[in-house]
A = this chain, B = another copy of it.
Amino acid sequence: MKKVTKIILQEKDMPTSWYNILPDLPEPLPPLLHPGTQEPTILPPPLFPASLNEQEFSKERYIEIPEEIQEMYKMYRPTPLIRAFRLEQFLGTPAKIFYKYEGVSAAGSHKLNTAIAQAYYNKKAGVKRLATETGAGQWGSALALGCQFFGLECKVYMVKVSYNQKPYRRIMMETWGATVIPSPSTETNIGRQILEKDPNSPGSLGIAISEAVEDAFGRDDTCYSLGSVLNHVILHQTVIGLETKKQLEVADVEADILVGCVGGGSNFGGMAVPFMPAKMKGKKMQIIAVEPTACPSMTKGPLAWDYGDVAGMAPIAKMFTLGHTFIPSPSHAGGLRYHGMSPLVSHLHKLGFIEARAVDQKSTFESAIKFARTEGIIPAPEPSHAIKVVIDEALKCKESGEKKTIVLALSGHGHFDLGSYEQFLAGKLEADTYSEEKVKQALAELPKVKYAG
């Protein structure tokens, strides 16, 4: 009998609804608070169409995926669930390792799942143009393609240092018709103010968010789009976990351990949330969120009320946070450098349904190389954090003789991150730095919130 390597679904097996966990939570998710009044609030209405605001707080367990979005998903979905036979063999583990590979999307990561949905709902609401920010470029390129599919204009404020260092990501967005501008730019007040103080500012994600938000606030035809953190983003990403569940059924195995990396939380949430109903009913299963030691919001930060953005303009959310003014040291996993954690993922962690681990950059790249040399695919630095934990767990199984089934959320490929691989291979990867002192300072700047719920 030949071994089956990939669990391949047909298009007819794709989920037709996203799964919304909010009504199933044993304790409700804390609200978002208005940054001014500190009273419960929805997302800022000028920035988001009403449909996405509804999804953000919906009490419906299943939200139908509109036909038009399903058609777009079919361009790359269902994505494969692949058995890592060669990695297992290399590790000598009795564990079964599977990975759900989202890198088959044209944008190269899971981000396209929500980019398509957000572009659709904005188009439907009569919006003509979306503004967003991007750091390393994964999100910006996904939104550029989503907008192109639905005939929306797309303006991307790209952190200047990335704009200069990652020209290929920029060209990708331009190939898909987006306008990309280095941030800080002279096109917004906040950008001009920053450039006046420091004409050579390298930019930051916080600044880029502020510019995109100002852009969207300033134009009637424009909304703002966010690639992670929020509930509606995780909702759209549940297609990952829903497909995976079905694929594991086909393979006739049950996941003992689910592993995904977390930055804002949308990749991890999209994989984990559909497995939560069983977990909440007591099913024995480890669900592990992996973050970088350079930005360890869940392993080192408190669960606290904090602003979603550096400038303190975004709603206040209850989340694990290192403080909205904390700026993590530069790293090769740009997608994991968010000061906080998605309120939903934070809540699930608080309730004890998921665990968190932090992994350093050197171990991450060592694991990435092992994966690339056995499985072929060169993983992005972000999911390589999760690969490290998968390998750790597989080696524990080798020790104990347990035949666990481990499932990895492999969110994207590293084709545009090869500069980081080069540094690692040359032994020139900088050590991670994490400053307790900086976090202490940032935590001192948490907003004083009186809301008692």
Residues of A within 8 A of B (CB): 2-6, 8-12, 67, 70-71, 74-76, 82, 85-86, 104-108, 145, 148-149, 167-168, 171-172, 174-177, 369, 372-373, 375-378, 415-416, 418-419, 421-422, 425
Contact = CB atoms under 8 A, between A and B. Distances in A.
A177 B418 CA distance: 14
Given A71-B5, A75-B5, A376-B106, A425 B174 contact: yes
18 contacts: A4-B74, A5-B11, A5-B71, A8-B9, A75-B376, A104-B104, A106-B378, A145-B376, A149-B376, A167-B418, A167-B419, A168-B168, A168-B419, A171-B419, A171-B425, A172-B378, A172-B418, A176-B373
Contacts of A9: 8
B171 A418 contact: yes
Contacts of A171: 418-419, 421-422, 425
Contacts of A5: 11, 71, 74-75
A74 B376 CA distance: 12
A86 to B, nearest CB: 8
Contacts of A8: 8-11
A159 B415 CA distance: 21
A3 B71 contact: yes
Contact of A107 (B75, B86, B167, B376): B376
Given A2-B71, A171-B422, A176-B373, 12 more contacts: A2-B12, A5-B71, A8-B11, A71-B85, A104-B104, A105-B376, A107-B376, A167-B418, A167-B422, A168-B419, A174-B422, A177-B373
Nearest to A83: B74
A181 to B, nearest CB: 15
A337 to B, nearest CB: 22
**Most chain B C-beta atoms within 10 Å of own C-beta, residue among A74, A82, A107:** A74
Contacts of A172: 378, 418
A105 B369 CA distance: 17
Contacts of A104: 104
A175 B76 contact: no
A415 B168 contact: yes
A9 B70 CA distance: 20
A111 to B, nearest CB: 13
Contact of A175 (B4, B71, B106, B418): B418
Contacts of A108: 415
Given A5-B11, A11-B6, A378-B106, A175 B372 contact: yes
A70 B425 contact: no
Contacts of A10: 8
A2 B6 contact: no
A218 to B, nearest CB: 27
Nearest to A377: B106
A413 to B, nearest CB: 8
